[in-house]
Amino acid sequence: SDCLQSSDLTRTDFLVDTDYFMAVAVLSAQRSKDPNTQVGACLVNQDNKIVGTGHNCMPNDCEGKLPWNREGAKLDTKYIYVCHAELNAIVNASANADVKGCTMYVTLFPCNECTKLIIQAGLKEVVYLCDKYHKTPETKASKKMLDMAGILEYERFDSIKSDKNISVRCAWEENFFYSEKNHKLPSKHRVHNDVMGNSQTNSQILPLTAAAHLHHGKPPPALQVKIEQQDR
């Protein structure tokens, strides 16, 4: 019948799971109100289902009442208050979801505190996009614990592996991560503040646009609408 699809008609340029999950993390980061660094996380279970997402934010009901400062007296900085994206992805997990065995897709390498949480919650893998704080004791401690924790692996997200193009560039770490075909967007599509928080350069590409350009530079329809609106 007409309804039957021959194998010739099977769509081949679909978004592969790993790119989709990282794109959701990238999109989640856009919800962050942190003016400097926006982080997103996407928690995926062993059935390849998303069980939770998160972004860095102040605790419930504290948003707007706490500082986003990076410097100053400890009590006046964001660091002692902010809930990291990874923590939120875990606590946001659906009530009936088992986080044990899950994979954490996160746009920035987890800190030592989140790593403890990740290990104790029984996650099995961390896939990260950016490692801009790799020189800090926090990140070093994270890697030390992840290595010790054995079954828990961490790997840098690599969309080349899955044959897709993702246009996320990190200016602070040359050649860190970019697609084979690095889509150069018109300047109006660029922003001064990217998902990983580098606000110094406008060579950064809007993460949402990055998500839109996951494959062959063709944004999926929903995101294309957004870009067209910007064009007007």
- The residue within the footprint of ligand 5HC, chosen from 34, 121, 123, 154 (CB under 6 A), is 34
103-108 and 40-44: which strand pairing? antiparallel
Annotated catalytic residue, options 71, 86, 174, 228 = 86
- The reply on whether position 197 binds ligand 5HC by CB under 6 A is yes
Looking at residue 74, the DSSP 8-state letter turns out to be: G
- The reply on whether position 110 binds ligand 5HC by CB under 6 A is yes
Q: How far is the CB of 24 from ligand 5HC (least distance, A)?
A: 15
- The reply on whether position 29 binds ligand 5HC by CB under 6 A is no
Of the candidates 45, 55, 57, which has an alpha carbon nearest to the alpha carbon of residue 96?
45
Is 86 noted as a catalytic residue in this protein?
A: yes
- The alpha helices in the chain, defined as continuous H runs, are 17-29, 85-91, 112-120, 137-148, 207-212, 221-231
* Cβ neighbourhood burial of 143 (10 Å; 0-12, 13-18, 19+): middle
Strands (E), 4-47: 40-44
Question: From CA 135, how far away is CA 23, in angstroms rounded?
Answer: 26
- The reply on whether position 108 binds ligand 5HC by CB under 6 A is yes
- The reply on whether position 127 binds ligand 5HC by CB under 6 A is no
Q: How far is the CB of 173 from ligand 5HC (least distance, A)?
A: 14
Residues 136-195 that bind ligand 5HC (CB under 6 A): none
Q: Total number of residues binding ligand 5HC (CB under 6 A)?
A: 18
- The reply on whether position 39 binds ligand 5HC by CB under 6 A is yes
Work out whether the CA dihedral 115, 143, 42, 118 comes out positive or negative. Answer: negative
Residues found near ligand 5HC in the complex (CB under 6 A): 34, 36-37, 39, 56, 70, 78, 82, 84-86, 108-111, 114, 133, 197
